[in-house]
Amino acid sequence: MKSFAIAAALLLGLSVAGQAAAADIEVANPFMRAAPMAGGTGAAFMTINNHGAADRLLAAEAGISKSVELHTHVKDGDIYRMRKVESLVVPEHGTAEMKPGGDHIMFIGLNAPMKEGATVQLTLKFEKAGAVVVQVPVLAPGAMAPGAMVPGGGAPGAAMPGGMMHHGHK
């Protein structure tokens, strides 16, 4: 019994002493949008809260598509286009927001249609925190926010004067 207690204390000590343990990363309000077609694309959004040192999201993995990319939106004239990025910064004791019209996780070449009501297991790979597994609920096509909650209380489409984003690759 005593050795168990010591082992537990050691484990706790290690995770507290680590530079950026997975416990420092907290994912809130993940969601993705239903997508009708196999072979098409899907997108996931979430808020990543970092309670530790600065970190970077390097990749994401899920068994639902041929590939998974980290994307951002860049303004090109009046149109916002998606662009692949190598990593997303999660500031020290800060937040990285992935939302429609901004940064997001892109699933390319879906193995099957994504049905509303399903849940997707997504593994986020952080430079320091390592792997963080997130259960992502699939909401209606075109969903802008998880549930009825609008993060920040602003109008979800307000940041996109160029019109609604089409979440497909052209």
Give the nearer residue to Cu ion in terms of CB position, either 48 or 82.
Answer: 82
Minimum distance, C-beta of residue 35 to Cu ion, in the bound complex (Å): 12
The 3-state DSSP class for residue 3 equals helix
Closest CA to 35 of 26, 48, 44: 44
Give the nearer residue to Cu ion in terms of CB position, either 129 or 136.
Answer: 136
Cα(61)–Cα(69) distance, integer angstroms? 9
Q: Which of 46, 57, 106, 144 binds Cu ion (CB under 5 A)?
A: 106
Closest CA to 43 of 51, 52, 33, 53: 33
Q: Give me the residue label for tokens 């990285």.
A: 96
Q: Which stretch binds Cu ion (CB under 5 A): 57-65, 80-88, 113-121, 145-153?
A: 80-88
Closest CA to 136 of 151, 115, 122, 125: 122
Give the nearer residue to Cu ion in terms of CB position, either 68 or 82.
Answer: 82
88 binds Cu ion, rule: CB under 5 A: no
Q: Which residues inside 50-79 make contact with Cu ion, applying CB under 5 A?
A: 71
Chain contacts with Cu ion (rule: CB under 5 A): 71, 82, 106
